[in-house]
Amino acid sequence: MDMTLFALLKAAGVDFSSVAVVMLLWRISTLMNSQKEAIVRLIHKLDKRVIALEAKSDVSRPAD
C-alpha cells in the first residue's frame, strides 16, 4: 500500500485513524507473507538434507 492509496482513502472521507489501521494491517500482512515464504524455503532445504542423509545411511547400512 503506498501513499497514493492513502490519499485516495483520505479523499473518500475515511478518517485518519482508520487509514492508519488499514496501512498498519497491510504492512503486517506483507511481512507475514514474506516470512512465510522464507520458512517454506527453509523447510524444503531441510527436507532435502534429511532425504540425502537418509539415503546415505541406507546405502551404508548392511542388509538384515
Position 55 scores a pLDDT of: 87
pLDDT in tens, 14-50: 888 888 888 889 889 999 999 999 999 999 999 999 9
Q: How confident is the model at residue 59 (pLDDT cuts 50, 70, 90)?
A: low
2 φ/ψ sector (left φ>0, alpha ψ -120 to 50, else beta):
beta
Region 40-64: what's the mean pLDDT?
83
Position 64 scores a pLDDT of: 54
- Which whole-number Å values give the CA distances from 59 to 47, 52, 53, in the listed order? 18, 11, 10
Q: Which pTM value belongs to this model?
A: 0.54
27's grid cell: 504492512
Is it the case that residue 52 has pLDDT exceeding 60? yes
H or E element in which residue 40 lies: helix 16-60
